[in-house]
Amino acid sequence: MKIARRAGHKRMAWKNGQGLTEEVAAFPAGSDTDSFDWRLSIAHVGADGPFSVFAGIDRTIALLDGAGLALDLPEGKAVELKPGGSPFSFSGDWEISSRNLGGPTVDLNIMTRRGRCTHEMRRLTLAPAETFPPSGTQPGFGWVVFNSPANIEADGQELAIERFDAIALEAGESVINRAAAAEILHISIAQG
């Protein structure tokens, strides 16, 4: 198990220079936007504008903070990310523009390089005393990103977790929620 505290997230400009990202983690370590196999980040969207294009990358995003984010997709399609809503998956090859709905937003973003890794993201609420993932169900490597503060137990340690902290879990590892309900986003990452 590894903890990535928000205070330690690497902050950088977007690839297109029009926003700010907090990099939670990337593999391989030290890789840049052109060489990662996977990258988990938190984006701050302060103004309407285009998303960076990442050829050969699959992406999934979920709203963490703000009233909503509208994405204008290819072929005139659109989708809105709302508080508590489901993550949205799309190709990094797509030219997408975004519009904040009612002010700045913050979103969670997982990107995986096609042919090297795949991913899945889901939003969950951990009830008090709930173990996540349930015993024996973590099939491989994954991250849990907290969208609310929490008190958890992991590896026999009691930990105070802040909003936007993240925990990497290997197969067989889990966390136990020791306080009030906590909103999390679970990201599973697999080779291939």
Higher pLDDT, 20 or 5: 5
69, 87, 114 — which closes off a domain? 114
Examine residue 70 and state whether it is found in any structural domain, yes or no: yes
Question: Based on the domain organization, do 28 and 105 belong to the same domain?
Answer: yes
Q: What is the DSSP string of 76-113?
A: G-EEEE-TTPPPEEEETTS--EEEESSS-EEEEEEEEE
Residue 6, burial from CB neighbour count under 10 angstroms (0-12, 13-18, 19+): middle
Question: Based on the domain organization, do 95 and 147 belong to the same domain?
Answer: no
pLDDT one-digit tens code per residue, 41-66:
999 998 899 988 999 999 999 999 99
Write down the pLDDT at residue 138.
60
Examine residue 43 and state whether it is found in any structural domain, yes or no: yes
Question: Based on the domain organization, do 187 and 143 belong to the same domain?
Answer: yes
Number of domains in the chain: 2
Q: What is the pTM of this model?
A: 0.92
Token code pair at residue 106: 């913050």
Question: Based on the domain organization, do 92 and 146 belong to the same domain?
Answer: no
Question: Based on the domain organization, do 22 and 68 belong to the same domain?
Answer: yes
Higher pLDDT, 155 or 6: 6
43 lies in which domain range?
7-114
Report d(CA 134, CA 132) in Å as an integer. Answer: 5
Looking at residue 32, which CATH number applies to its domain?
Answer: 2.60.120.10
